[in-house]
Amino acid sequence: MSKSIVILGIESSCDDTSAAVLKDGKILANIVASQSIHKLYGGVVPELASRAHQQNIIPVVDQAIKQAGISKNDINAIAFTRGPGLMGSLLVGTSFSKAFALGLNIPLIEVNHMQGHILAHFIDDEGKTKPPFPFLCLTVSGGHTQIVLVKDFFNMTILGETIDDAAGEAFDKAAKIMGLPYPGGPLIDKYAKEGNPKAFKFSKPQVPELNFSFSGLKTGFMNFITNETARNNNFVEENRNDICASIQSTIIDILLSKLKTAALQTDIKHIAIAGGVSANSGLRNELNKLERELDWNVFIPRFEYCTDNAAMIAITGYYKFLKNDFSNQAATPTAKYDLNSKTE
């Protein structure tokens, strides 16, 4: 029997500090420390995020190793997020990973965060089927909105993406306009469950091809709230559930209408979603409906693998390990990182 491969994954690209231990494709531990400090500011403050990562990284790694029931000497390689993300945040995970790998004398593997979101579908998980290649992945997070043609583990083509705000940003900004704390996506999801999605209508953008735009929706939404509040000061409180359901269903419609076009154009019926917004229950429900209506085969990640986590970095590291794609001590973080960039 061949020897097991144990990967320590490290994620620190935005405001979640996370460490995961993966053994032969299975997750033994996935610890995430979310930073609540940003709630006060209505969005992620990069300098505060970086400082919080510095405080969290060692306890989070320590907890992951303990929970996995392994010793640090069992780790075969450390996979870390090299980008894309906030520079100060990425630096913490990268520096920690380099130092720990040097101390343990084991190889380093650099991971593209967006590939990680997609490859989270390949974590061994009882009762979950992995998408067969080629498949389409709608990757929707706080920083990105992309339709990706996934031909193989490391052969991905972006078919369309946002030309301005990301879908997660649209959720967070709408929430902020309504006076809800950051991150607003999960709160809008919660209130939307009790509301009428047809109560209010917002105009949808006309963007060519498979690209997206959310900045017009944000402005339209802001004007709508300003005008209604001028008439009735309690408009938001009195209509919160309906407003949330309406803005959420508009965002979902925008996403799914492009996804349907992409599926038709590529003649692919294996459809996955990934990234923080894939935790949205409205999006998950609508996709399940489309699976029945359009004869799609839909792949939806477990909640813990939707928002930022190190399990997705560890599984991506595992597949890189299998093809001997290693990084080294000269590795540097990068705020922008093409989906298909090769290790430099």
The sheet with strand 135-140 has its strands ordered as 155-161, 145-152, 135-140, 270-274, 297-299
Compute the distance between CA of residue 169 and CA of residue 234 in angstroms, rounded to an integer. Answer: 25
What's the min distance (Å) between Cβ of 316 and ligand KG4? 14
Compute the distance between CA of residue 43 and CA of residue 174 in angstroms, rounded to an integer. Answer: 12
Structure tokens at 23: 């053994």
What's the min distance (Å) between Cβ of 73 and ligand KG4? 32
Contact 132, 138 (CB under 8 A): no
Over the window 140 to 159, marking each residue x when it contacts Zn ion by CB under 5 A and - when it does not, the resulting string is: -x------------------
Return the CA Rg of the chain. 20
Q: Is 143 a binder of ligand KG4 (CB under 6 A)? A: yes
Quick one: which of 250, 280, 327, 334 contacts ligand KG4 (CB under 6 A)?
280
Q: Phi then psi for 223, rounded to 5 degrees? A: -65, -40
Q: Is 93 a binder of ligand KG4 (CB under 6 A)? A: no
Residues 303-332 that bind ligand KG4 (CB under 6 A): 307-308
What's the min distance (Å) between Cβ of 81 and Zn ion? 9
Q: Is 14 a binder of ligand KG4 (CB under 6 A)? A: yes
What's the min distance (Å) between Cβ of 75 and Zn ion? 24
Residues 290-329 that bind Zn ion (CB under 5 A): 308
Decide whether 225 or 300 has the Cβ nearer to Zn ion. Answer: 300
Compute the distance between CA of residue 254 and CA of residue 165 in angstroms, rounded to an integer. Answer: 13
Q: Is 9 a binder of ligand KG4 (CB under 6 A)? A: no
Q: Phi then psi for 26, rounded to 5 degrees? A: -105, 140
| Residues in a beta bridge with 140 | 145
What are the residues binding ligand KG4 (CB under 6 A)? Answer: 14, 141-143, 168, 171-172, 183-186, 189, 275-277, 279-280, 307-308
